[in-house]
Amino acid sequence: MQRRTFIQSLAAAAAASVAGPGTAARRRPSLRYLRPPGALNEADFVSRCIRCGQCGEICPNRCISYFGLENGLTSLDTPYIIPREKGCILCMKCGEVCPTDAIRPIPRTAEDILAGVRMGRAHVDKRLCLSYQGKTCGVCYRACPLQDVAIRVGLLEQPHVTEQCVGCGLCERSCIQMPQAIRIIPDYG
């Protein structure tokens, strides 16, 4: 265990004991986050992840961050992605280096990514989307690595997200609206 992790664990344990039993179970994260591509369902992921940090070190897009105490003790030092800050480019390198298969290795082919990656799914807020307000945009479509599979465009480049969206977050990151008109709804399965 790294020194930083050990010290954070001690501090978290002390805080939890002062707060009383059940406090952590009642707290829900206010942060909307994604797990790296190929991650197991949340419970299995958290139990298998050894907090080694290799996934973040190998990520060429530097989109992987690590939880402190904001998501509770069970998530301490586990990797996550905030799509508005940086989306995942689906390089699939994180799964190649994960020593416990908390992030499964998935070959970097469209077929394998579509079959094995479920980070979440994009949702378009038509009230905020420029293309639904009569202005051509299409930025989210052009950012998608799975164009015409995960997202299609209609009249005035209106985005239509399909069931095959893997939730990489590149569309959300690229959206020029504030607040963004397209968001990834995480799949913590």
Domains and CATH numbers, the chain: 3-97 (no CATH), 118-186 (3.30.70.20)
Say what the pTM is: 0.82
Q: Is the pLDDT of residue 20 over 50?
A: no
Q: Is the pLDDT of residue 19 over 60?
A: no
What's the one-letter identity of residue 69? L
How confident is the prediction for the chain on average, in pLDDT?
89
- pLDDT at position 153 is 97
Say which residue the tokens 């963004």 belong to.
Answer: 180
Mean pLDDT of 42-68: 97
Of 129, 53, 155, give the one whose Cα is nearest residue 97.
Answer: 53
Q: Is the pLDDT of residue 97 over 60?
A: yes
Residue 47 or residue 187, greater confidence: 47
